[in-house]
């Protein structure tokens, strides 16, 4: 990915992601998340992973976020009245954020020092065939286990929703 | 530099093609519905107070947009101003960009380069179309919510439920097409439809996947929210549904998005099932009817014929959709949901299963 493309996509992504945290209206927050996820798909395109980009838009932007938005609208959530958190809570949150930043900084710093040289991409990198081969041939067990996990989650959700009717 | 110019020209050509056809459809809809309902329809306009005069289809093409864009742009009290402004663009954007992946011709030689007649050639063209269709929901949902109007909200709730339901059937039918052609690349799909099957029949998708064709066309119409699937608008129940509180140019944007979606559905039907830009028996060398000698045709004429064939096919499906809109009455909501979840999705799943089985059998036969 060229440096220009990275900054053109990364800066708006970070801005949109901060919007999720900073905006007051829940619908605006959800929309910021949509924008952030869409721009991440743009980053995938710039990294030659076209399939992942398309899936990112179909799954996250097209399906998951529509559901989020739907739930927020149906619950008719009002903007956060901002009563102001307790001083201790603010201090605690600040300390936790600082700790997180230190850990991330340490990991990234280490990674930069020992980062391997950029690998040469295979000809079928990011294409549907390439991804499918990795997913369904090299990592088939992991893929099947994930699908079982998702199935368990779906069945669990149905059971929880139906509990009072049994 | 030349490459940039070529890409820009292609993108603009596709964008303006969709916009022009959408504008023409506005006229076709007004006059066509009049024809169907045995009335005359819009036939005169007073321009700067002169008239009324009859300028044929220029009336609708010029007078209607001028009327819409000079009306007051109204934002209701209590509306979410930002999202209310944003929603028409969110509705229009996916409809206009989807066509970028649809090929409208074979390659041509320009300045020593082989140029594909397609705005962008994508390895994942089919998924791009699905992704953009999925984005179309936002315009509907946000327009209804931001308007602070009960009718509008009801319309957008209906609209999003309908679009998400029919997306499933549409996606399943598209997967069976991917299996049939063994590619996600729309240009490649059209290329393989240029071959002959059984020695005489053009290998068009409709002959292999008639069920998928019906599902894609029906759910495509449901995605574009037109009668008999116009419950999100339902003017007899919900005033105008999700765009009740829009006026002037923004209302025009919603209308334009509707027409652009018609063009996109037509383009998709043409590309997947009716040979795209292929003219039956016409190859790059010339016309080769089975059992007859080759009739040579000049290269530029072949390109022209192919782009022409694509246009004719797309226009035919646009007309078909308008014909259906003005012929069939609106579904009831439970009928709509039953058709989607209990009719189309099981049939699409079964079709996918059979397709996958056949593809597997044929692949083993070859190996």
At residue B56, the pLDDT reads: 67
Tokens 């024809």 -> residue? B35
* Residue A69 contacts B where some CB pair is shorter than 8 Å: yes
At residue B194, the pLDDT reads: 78
State the distance between the two ends of chain B, measured CA to CA, in whole angstroms. Answer: 47
Sign of CA dihedral B230, B319, B131, B206: positive
The arithmetic mean of pLDDT across residues A22-35, rounded, is 85
What gap in Å lies between CA B59 and CA B310, rounded to an integer?
28
Helix, strand, coil shares of chain A, percent, nearest 5, are: 80, 0, 20
> CA Rg, chain A, in Å?
21
| Residue to test with chain B: of A66, A78, A126, most B Cβ within 10 A | A66
Please name the residue of chain A whose CA is at the shortest distance from the CA of residue B130.
A58
pLDDT in tens, B285-311: 777 777 777 777 777 788 888 888 888
The arithmetic mean of pLDDT across residues A80-95, rounded, is 76
| Residue to test with chain A: of B83, B122, B131, most A Cβ within 10 A | B131
Q: Is the model's pLDDT at B43 over the cut of 80?
A: no
B141 contact residues in A (CB cutoff 8 A)? 66, 69-70, 73
What gap in Å lies between CA B189 and CA A135, rounded to an integer?
24
CB contact set of B33 (below 8 Å; sequence gap of 6+): B41, B322, B326
The arithmetic mean of pLDDT across residues A19-42, rounded, is 86
Domain ranges of chain B: 73-362
The arithmetic mean of pLDDT across residues B248-276, rounded, is 87
| Inter-chain CB proximity B160 and A127 less than 8 Å | no
What gap in Å lies between CA B123 and CA B146, rounded to an integer?
37
What gap in Å lies between CA B240 and CA A33, rounded to an integer?
29
Which 3 state secondary structure label does DSSP give B196?
A: strand
Element (H, E) at B197: strand B196-197
| Inter-chain CB proximity A66 and B160 less than 8 Å | yes
pTM: 0.81
Query: B293 burial class (0-12, 13-18, 19+ CB within 10 angstroms)?
Result: exposed
Q: Say if CB B143 and CB B254 are below 8 A apart.
A: yes
| Inter-chain CB proximity A62 and B134 less than 8 Å | yes
At residue A91, the pLDDT reads: 85
What gap in Å lies between CA B186 and CA B275, rounded to an integer?
11
The arithmetic mean of pLDDT across residues B270-284, rounded, is 82
Give the domain A1-78 fold. 1.20.120
B145 contact residues in A (CB cutoff 8 A)? 27, 73
Closest-CA residue to B181 (of B306, B310, B272): B272
Please name the residue of chain A whose CA is at the shortest distance from the CA of residue B134.
A62
Q: Say if CB B242 and CB B173 are below 8 A apart.
A: no
Closest-CA residue to B41 (of B49, B50, B32): B32
pLDDT in tens, B19-40: 888 888 888 888 888 888 888 8
Please name the residue of chain B whose CA is at the shortest distance from the CA of residue A32.
B83
Size of interface A-B (CB pairs under 8 A): 59
CB contact set of B329 (below 8 Å; sequence gap of 6+): B227, B228
Domain ranges of chain A: 1-78, 87-119, 124-166
What gap in Å lies between CA B179 and CA B241, rounded to an integer?
38
| Residue to test with chain B: of A42, A73, A79, A136, most B Cβ within 10 A | A73
| Inter-chain CB proximity B153 and A51 less than 8 Å | no
- What b/e readout covers B263-277, taking b as 16+ CB neighbours within 10 angstroms? bbbbbbbbbbbbbbb
Q: Is the model's pLDDT at A100 over the cut of 60?
A: yes
What gap in Å lies between CA B242 and CA B239, rounded to an integer?
9
Which 3 state secondary structure label does DSSP give B47?
A: strand
The DSSP code for B327 is: T
């Amino acid at each position: 990915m060229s440096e220009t493309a990275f900054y053109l996509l990364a800066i708006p992504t970070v801005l949109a992601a901060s919007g999720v945290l900073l905006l007051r209206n829940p619908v605006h927050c959800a929309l910021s998340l949509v924008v952030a996820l869409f721009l991440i798909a743009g980053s995938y395109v710039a990294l030659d992973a076209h399939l992942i980009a398309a899936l990112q838009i179909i799954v996250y932007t097209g399906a998951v976020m529509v559901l989020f938005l739907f739930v927020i609208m149906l619950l008719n959530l009002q903007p956060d009245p901002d009563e102001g958190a307790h001083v201790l809570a603010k201090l605690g949150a600040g300390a936790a954020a600082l700790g997180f930043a230190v850990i991330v900084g340490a990991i990234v710093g280490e990674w930069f020092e020992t980062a391997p040289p950029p690998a040469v991409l295979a000809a079928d990198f990011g294409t549907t065939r390439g991804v499918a081969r990795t997913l369904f041939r090299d990592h088939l067990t992991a893929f099947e286990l994930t699908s079982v996990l998702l199935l368990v989650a779906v069945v669990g959700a149905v059971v929880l929703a139906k509990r009072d009717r049994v | 530099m030349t490459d940039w110019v070529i890409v820009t020209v292609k993108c603009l050509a596709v964008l303006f093609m969709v916009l022009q056809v959408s504008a023409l459809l506005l006229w076709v809809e007004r006059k066509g519905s009049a024809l169907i309902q045995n009335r005359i329809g819009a036939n005169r306009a007073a321009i700067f107070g002169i008239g009324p005069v009859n300028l044929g289809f220029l009336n609708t093409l010029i007078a209607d947009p001028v009327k819409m864009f000079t009306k007051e742009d109204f934002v209701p009290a209590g509306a979410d101003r930002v999202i209310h402004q944003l929603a028409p663009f969110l509705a229009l954007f996916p409809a206009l960009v989807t066509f970028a992946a649809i090929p409208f011709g074979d390659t041509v030689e320009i300045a020593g380069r082989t140029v594909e007649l397609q705005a962008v050639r994508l390895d994942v063209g089919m998924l791009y179309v699905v992704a953009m269709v999925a984005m179309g929901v936002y315009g509907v949902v946000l327009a209804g919510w931001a308007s602070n109007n009960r009718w509008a909200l009801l319309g957008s709730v209906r609209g999003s439920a309908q679009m998400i339901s029919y997306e499933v059937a549409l996606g399943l039918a598209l997967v069976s097409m991917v299996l049939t052609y063994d590619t996600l690349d729309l240009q490649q799909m059209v290329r393989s439809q240029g071959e002959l099957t059984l020695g005489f029949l053009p290998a068009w998708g409709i002959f292999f996947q008639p069920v998928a064709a019906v599902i894609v066309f029906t759910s495509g119409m449901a995605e574009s929210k037109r009668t008999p699937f116009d419950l999100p608008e339902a003017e007899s129940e919900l005033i105008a549904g999700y765009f009740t509180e829009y006026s002037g140019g923004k209302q025009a944007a919603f209308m334009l998005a509707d027409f652009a979606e018609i063009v996109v559905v037509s383009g998709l039907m043409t590309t997947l099932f009716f040979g795209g830009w292929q003219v039956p028996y016409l190859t790059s060398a010339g016309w080769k009817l089975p059992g007859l000698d080759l009739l040579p045709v000049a290269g530029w004429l072949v390109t022209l014929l192919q782009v022409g064939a694509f246009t004719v096919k797309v226009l035919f499906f646009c007309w078909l959709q308008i014909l259906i809109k003005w012929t069939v009455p609106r579904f009831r909501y439970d009928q709509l949901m039953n058709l989607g979840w209990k009719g189309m999705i099981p049939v699409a799943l079964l079709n996918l299963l059979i397709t996958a089985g056949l593809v597997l059998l044929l692949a083993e036969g070859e190996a």
